[in-house]
Each structure stands twice: as structure tokens, then as C-alpha cells.
Amino acid sequence: MSGNIVNQTKLPFKPASLKAAEQEASLALYVAQHSSIAPVDHLSEMCKKKFSDAIEIRLHRTKCTNIIKNVLAPHFFEELRTDIGDSKFSLLLDESTDISVTKLLGIVIIYFSKTHNRIISTFLSLAELENADSGGIVDCLKKELKKLKLNINKLIGIGTDNANVMRKNNNKNIKRENNSSSNMKTTATETKVEAECYANAIKSNASTATAIVIEQWAICK
């Protein structure tokens, strides 16, 4: 058997370039902040052609996606977690459905940053909902807070829209969570357009305002 062994030519692998890695990470960060991932195929090729020091860039959609998910996202989530620290915070919640008809819960956090010495409002998480009812929303929220290592006892406020599953008066699960934290408040907010419509209607004609309220109530029921 030893006589049949053939020495193969070694493949000339080049060591990874730190400069190229930094350039690819910068492009991925730009894409994550300002655009969808699809244009990165053309953006990276354009950079290679137009900038002499970017010739080693090898960045397309798959690689860009993995850099964002596995490198950039963990770094910025840890940075955000450190910045929040043990501070009290509030959350804005909104349930939505993506193109694949998957129910999602969008979460925005509002807190005071000691690092920047100002109130910060920023994206926190976009989590998949197992159930789109009030119980599913509360369970999903608790899981996300636990995953991000945020103390639920520091939660002092929740802002939602006027969907039935979000309303405080119709949501026993959120009420139960309120009882576990006496400082937590829930607020259902109407849209700016609705507020302006109601205000203008009241100014112009009281009967018109009444008709609008009755119509909206019938729809919500």
C-alpha cells in the first residue's frame, strides 16, 4: 500500500489579510445601517475596481449576512447591555407579520445612558412569536429580556399601540406582570393621524366627532 501513495502538490493558500477583513467588516456595517443586504454584491465589486487598496475584498450576500449576525450583532448587543447596566428602562412593543406570514414582536428600549449622558431610544430585538395573543407576547418579552440579561424588575414602562392584545384593560397577562412590579406602567398610544383627525373633528363639528368615535368603536368591536 505504501508504494501507491502519491505526493500531492500543496495548495497555495494565502494568509488572511487583516486589512481586507477590516474593509469587509466596514462594508457590512454600512449595509446593516443604511441599506438591504442585496446591493453588497455590486458594492464590493465596485470597491475592488475603483480603490487600489481594496483589491482583496471578497464580500457578497452570504458572507455579509454572517458578518452582521455573528460578528457585528454580538459586539453591539454586548456594548448596549454594558451601557444599560443596572439602569431602569422602558420598552415600546409592536406586533407585526413578515412576508412569510411569521408573527414577530418588535422591541425598542428607552433608557438613560451614563456613557452619553442622555436618554437613548434604540432597537433592542425582533423576536418570533409562538402565539400572537397577549400571553404569547408576554412570554416572548420575558424570554428576550432573559436572553439579553436585562432585569425585568428594572422595567418601569411599556408603550404599545391600541391593538386588542396590547391594551392594558383587555390584557390580563400584562396586568399580572404589572402586579409583579409595582413601578411598571403600560400606555396604549393612538397614532398621530388619529389624534389629529379627532382634534379637527371636535373643533369643526361635535356631531362629526361623535360619528367618528361610534364608527371606530364599531370597527374595534
**Could you tell me the pLDDT band of residue 65, with boundaries at 50, 70 and 90?**
very high
14-33: average pLDDT? 87
153 is written with which cell numbers? 424588575
pLDDT at 189: 54
Percent of the chain residues topping a pLDDT of 90? 33
* DSSP sequence for the chain: -GGG--PPPPP-PPPPPHHHHHHHHHHHHHHHHHS-STTHHHHHHHHHHH-GGGTT----HHHHHHHIIIIIHHHHHHHHHHHHTT--EEEEEEEEE-TT--EEEEEEEEEEETTTTEEEEEEEEEEE-S--SHHHHHHHHHHHHHHTT--GGGEEEEEE-S-TTT-GGG-HHHHHHHHHSTT-EEEE---HHHHHHHHHHHHH-HHHHHHHHHHHHHHH-
pLDDT at 188: 55
- Least confident range of 6-10, 43-47, 182-186: 182-186
Q: What angle do CA 26, 31, 33 make, to 5 degrees?
A: 95
Q: How far is CA 99 from the centre of its chain?
A: 16
**What pTM was estimated for this model as a whole?**
0.65
Range ranked top by mean pLDDT from 55-69, 123-137, 167-181, 189-203: 55-69
110-133: average pLDDT? 89
pLDDT surpasses 80 at 63: yes
pLDDT surpasses 70 at 137: yes
Domains delineated in the chain = 16-79 (no CATH), 85-189 (3.30.420.40), 192-221 (no CATH)
Residue positions counted in the chain:
221
pLDDT surpasses 60 at 206: no
pLDDT surpasses 80 at 130: yes
pLDDT at 169: 43
pLDDT surpasses 90 at 109: yes
